[in-house]
Amino acid sequence: MATVDFWFDYSSPYAYLGATQIEAVAARAGGDVRWRPMLLGGVFKAIGTPNVPLMLAGQAKQQHYGKDMLRWAAWWEVPFAWPTRFPMNTIKALRVTLVSPDPAKFIHRAFKAYWVEDQDLANANVLATLLSDIGQDPALVAETENPTVKERLIAETNEAVRLGVFGAPTSVVDGELFWGQDRLGFVERALQGWKPKTA
C-alpha cells in the first residue's frame, strides 16, 4: 500500500487546510497517511529561511494570501478563522503529538483549536483540555518536558531537513516531495504511481 508522509506544524495555516484533506486524498488513491510533526521554525533555521516568510511578503501578496486561505476553506467547505495570536509557539503541541496514543485524533483537534477556535496552543492547560476533549489522558502534557520526547522532535525536524523539506505542509510519496495544500492533486496521483519526469 502506498503511503504519504504528511509533514506539518500547527503554526502553518496551509498545513491546517491540507490536514483537513490528506486522509481523503490517500483514501481515494488506496493509500494511507503517516503524520510527521516537525518544528517548522527549526527547519527554517536549519536552511537559512527568514522566520515566518509569510510575514515578509509584500503587502499585495500578503493580502492575497489572506484571501487565498479563505478561498481554500470555502473550496473544501471547512471552517477557518485567522487567529489573534500569530505566529504561535507550537513546540509543546508537537511534543504531545509524538506521545499521543492516537496522533491523528490529536492532530485534528489541535489544528482546529488554533485555526478555527483561536485557542493558545502554547498553553499547557489548553493542551490538557484538548487531550480530554478526545478522550486521551491530559497528564500526557507532562511528557512535553521529557528530554527523550524533546530529542524525538529535534530528530524528526532534522529528518525533514534531510529530506529537503522547506515549508509546510509537505507531502512525501516514494521519495518525491510535494509542497503545499495546493499540490494534493499531484499527491493523489503520485500515490497511484504517477512519476512525471522532473529532471
Interaction site with its own copies (CB under 8 A): 47-49, 58-61, 63-64, 66-68, 70-71, 73-75, 164-167, 177, 179, 182-183, 185-186, 189, 196-199
Amino acid identity at 5: D
At closest approach, how far in Å is the CB of 150 from its own copies?
Answer: 25
In the complex, minimum distance from the CB of residue 92 to its own copies, in angstroms, rounded to a whole number? 27
Contact 59, 69 (CB under 8 A): no
Q: Which amino acid is at 160?
A: A
Shortest CB 74 distance to its own copies, Å: 3
Q: Which is nearer to its own copies, 101 or 185 (CB)?
A: 185
Give min distance, CB of 51 to its own copies, in A: 13
Give whichever of 59 and 148 is closer to its own copies, judged by the CB atom. 59
CA–CA separation, 95 and 89 (whole Å): 12
Helical spans, DSSP H, in 123-175: 124-133, 147-163
Cβ-based nearer residue to its own copies, 40 or 141? 40
Residue 36 to residues 5, 53, 71, 94, 152, Cα–Cα distance (Å): 6, 21, 26, 10, 12
